[in-house]
Structure 1
C-alpha cells in the first residue's frame, strides 16, 4: 500500500504534534514534513512535494491564504477526473490538495482560502475520525467543508454582486446543464441519480465532464462558480 503523503503547516508545535499522532495512527498516511509558517510550507512543498497539506490560516510571515494561493498557482493542473497519485515523481506530480484548518467557523480569510483553491475547510476542534475521513475524501478528488460552515459559505457568495457571464455554461450539453443546476443546489450524486433516474456511474461521469469543461476542481468550486456568475440565487 502506498501511503498518502501529507504536510502539516501550523505555528503551534503542540497542535502539529497532536495532528501528526492522529494521522500516523493510519497505515495509509505518512507525515512527510512540518512547517511553522506559510513561507516554510511553500519551501517545503517545493523541495519535497506531498499529496495533501493541512494548512493553518493564522501564521506569521506568510499566512495560510497566501501560502495556499502560491502553492496552487505554481503547481501544474492535473486531469480533473483523476485522483492524485501518491509517490509520483516531483516533475509529474499533480498539485497538492489543501485542507484549511481554523479556529473560527467562517471569516474573511477562510472565504479567501476557498477562493484560492483550498479543497477542504475544517475546524481545529473537529473529531479525529472526521479529520481522517476528510483527508481521504479530499485526496480522492472531492471537497470537504465542515457541515456547520457550508450554509455560511453559500450565504457569503450569495451576498456578492454576480459576475454575469452568459457564456459560462456554453460548453455544456443540455443534460450537463441540468446536472450542473442540481449540483449547484447541493444535491449529492445519489440524489441526482434518483431524481433523474440515472445510474450512479452515469452521474459521476457527467460530474467529471462538467468540472473538466468549466475548469473547476471540485463541488465547492462549482458552487462558488455558480454564485459568482449569477447562475443560481439563494431564496
Structure 2
C-alpha cells in the first residue's frame, strides 16, 4: 500500500510534534513542516500528497497558505485543522480551496480518517462543524477558488461548482435563492467567459482546476 506523504503547517511545536507522532503510528509519513506562511517553500519542494494547515499563523493566515498551495501544487490535497468550529470559518476554508476542515479537538482517529479521505479525493467536514456549516454556505464545498477562475465572480463560481457537480438549473436556483432564468443567464455567461461549449466541458474545467 502506498504511504500517504503529509506536509504540516502549524505554529505550535507541541501540536506539530503530536500530529507527526500520531501520523507515524498510523503509517503516514510527514515529509515537510512549516511553522508560518513564509516557510512553506519546504512544503512546495516536498510536494506532499496532503498538507494539513492551521489557520492561525504568526505571519498571516492559513487561507493564504491554502491559496498558494492550490496554485503551486495542483495535485496536493489540503486539509484545514484549526481551533475554529464556526461554520463561517469552515466555509471560507473550503471557498479558498481546501478539501476539508476539522477542528483541533477532533478525535485522533477522525483526523487520520480525514487525511486518508481527502487523499482519496473526498471533501471532508468534521462532525463538530457540519451542523454549523449547513445553512451558512452549503455551496462552499462545491465552489472553486477564485485563483482557479479569476475571470468569474463569486456568484458565478458558486453556479459553476454546482453545475460541475451535476446540479440542474432548477436545483441551483432553489439552493442560491435565484430564479431559473437568472441561473440560466449565469450559466450562459460562464460558458462564454470560459469558452466552453457545454456543461460537460465546464465539469471538465473544474475537475482540472480542483482535482475533484
Shorter-chain TM-score range: 0.5 to 0.7
Partner of 2:62: 64
Shift in alpha-carbon separation, 1:14–1:149, aligned structure 2, 3 A: same
2:43 counterpart residue number: 45
For the pair 1:15 / 2:15, whether they are aligned, the reply is yes
> TM-score w.r.t. structure 1 length?
0.61
Residue correspondences, number: 169
CA distance change for structure 1 residues 213 and 8 in 2, over 3 Å: closer, same or farther? same
Alignment of 1:10-159 (within 5 A): 10-27=10-27, 29-41=28-40, 43-76=41-74, 94=75, 96-106=76-86, 108-157=88-137
Q: Deviations over 1:28-72 (max 9, x none)?
A: x1010111112212x112221111011000001132111111110
- 1:123 to 1:211, Cα distance in 2 relative to 1, 3 A: farther
Q: Which runs of 5+ in 1 are unaligned?
A: 77-93, 186-208, 220-235
Question: Alpha carbons of 1:169 and 1:5: their partners in 2 closer, same or farther (altered >3 Å)?
Answer: closer
Aligned-residue RMSD, C-alpha: 3.5
Asked which structure has the greater RCO (Cα within 8 Å, sep 6+), the reply is: 1
Does residue 163 in structure 1 map to residue 150 in structure 2? no
- Tell which deviates more after alignment, 103-112 or 125-134: 103-112
List alignment gaps of at least 5 residues for structure 2: 141-153, 176-199
Partners of 1:69 and 1:113 within 8 A in 2: no
Structure 2: distance between partners of 1:16 and 1:169: 33
* SS of structure 2 residue aligned to 1:135: helix
Do the aligned residues in 1 keep the contact of 2:51 with 2:79 (CA within 8 Å)? yes
Q: CA deviation at 1:118?
A: 0.4
* Kept in 2: contact 1:101–1:121 (CA 8 A): yes
**Contact 2:44 2:72 survives alignment (8 Å):** no
Whether the aligned pair in 1 keeps the contact of 2:87 and 2:132 (CA below 8 Å) is no
Could you say if the C-alpha distance between residues 45 and 164 of structure 1 is closer, same or farther in structure 2, counting changes exceeding 3 Å?
closer
User: Matched residue of 2:57: which SS?
Assistant: coil
Q: Secondary structure at the match of 1:33?
A: strand
CA offset digits 1:187-227 (Å, max 9, x no partner): xxxxxxxxxxxxxxxxxxxxxx79934615488xxxxxxxx
